[in-house]
Amino acid sequence: MQKIIEASGISKKFGDTRALMDISFEVSEGEIFGFIGPDGAGKTTLFRIITTLLLPDEGKMRIMGHDVVTGFIELRKNIGYMPGRFSLYQDLSVEENLNFYATVFGTTVKENYDLISDIYSHIEPFKKRLAGRLSGGMKQKLALSCALIHKPALLVLDEPTTGVDAVSRAEFWEMLKKLKQYNITIIVSTPYMDEAMRCDKVALIQNGQLLSIDQPQKLRQGFTGKLFSIKASEKYRLINALREYPETVTAYAFGDSVHVTFKEDKCDKTICEYLDNKGITNVMINETEAGIEDRFLELMKKV
């Protein structure tokens, strides 16, 4: 498949802060490529370089054959960018914003309406309303419509789902999936690990470094060793007890249970006896499959 982005050795400093260190990756045409990592990992800096808004200190990045430093004029016509902060014109109406973006990119809303109809139809009843007076979910849909209206080959979305509830997040990802039929390549960042599974490929990023790049399924399988899920009635005491247990390597809270790894993957009767002695009741131990977050935690420890 054709490569849309080829980045090698990208670094960026702000004063003494090394925001990005030797970042290399490739994105193929039509892929949904996710950058997953916490605030301050370097996601936004990287996205600003991809969108030609910031120059890298070192390294090369080519997008659709154009260099991000020298070919920015050509590139900007073909990239749609939805920044993390709502950045449409608050004192223009929904409709005016959309028309404005279409005009700036030398097209019309009519010409590419197909592409956005699914998304825009949700907010079309409010097209006369000022953008500044929309609810959070509607702002998000308008911003996505504006980023798409010139039919970009590459769509860059910086944390589109941060602060959004679980139901709306799921809806947003459904919208992205539908865009695949138009062969638009999508780069998206998120702090929510569970969203990784919705990407074709995922890069885990932390402190300006890429920890791993792979298909989400393979990333999970990269987890080394055996993982056990332990449940009990007393959650807080269970975590503390497991931390003190000499055979424990890691113990992290995961939903209603604790995910634990043991030295030499050994999980036998002794652990049950140990927890019983600590007065912990209703203990249930199962071997479990590692998720993306388990793998991320494992990789974080190694850095």
List residues near another protein by CB under 8 A: 37-41, 122-123, 125-126, 134-138, 141, 162-170, 191-193, 206, 235-236, 239, 252-256, 293, 296-297, 300
**Which residue, 12 or 43, has its beta carbon nearer to another protein?**
43
Nearer to another protein, 59 or 191 (CB): 191
CB of 123 to another protein, least distance (A): 7
Minimal distance, residue 24 CB to another protein, in Å: 22
Other Cβ atoms within 10 Å of 266 Cβ, number: 10
Query: Cα–Cα distance between 72 and 52 in angstroms, integer?
Result: 6
Residue 258's Cα: distance from chain center in Å? Answer: 24
Angle at 258 between CA 167 and CA 221, to 5 degrees: 75
Q: Which is nearer to another protein, 182 or 254 (CB)?
A: 254
Nearer to another protein, 269 or 301 (CB): 301
Residue 48 Cβ vs another protein, minimum distance, rounded to whole Å: 18
Strand partners, 56: none
* Nearer to another protein among residue 245 and residue 254 (C-beta): 254
Q: How far is the CB of 270 from another protein (least distance, A)?
A: 25
Q: Which residues pair with 287 in a beta bridge?
A: 228
Q: How far is the CB of 236 from another protein (least distance, A)?
A: 4
152 φ, ψ to 5°? -70, 155
Cα–Cα distance for residue pair 105/102, rounded to 1 Å: 5
Contact indicator for 81, 48 with CB cutoff of 8 Å = no
In the complex with another protein, which residue's Cβ is closer, 31 or 158?
158
Residue 188 in tokens = 């998206």
What tokens appear for 20 in the block? 């990005």
Helices (H), the chain: 43-50, 72-78, 94-104, 113-120, 136-148, 166-179, 216-221, 235-244, 269-277, 292-302
Min CB(286)–another protein separation in Å: 14
CB of 16 to another protein, least distance (A): 11
Nearest residue (CB) to another protein, 21 versus 300: 300
Q: How many residues does the chain have?
A: 303
Please state the closest distance from residue 256 (CB atom) to another protein, in A: 4
Q: Which residues contact 101 (CB under 8 A, 6 or more apart)?
A: 146, 147, 149, 150
How far apart are alpha carbons 6 and 253 in whole angstroms?
38
CA atoms within a 13 Å half-sphere pointing along the CA-CB vector of 266? 9
Nearer to another protein, 1 or 303 (CB): 303
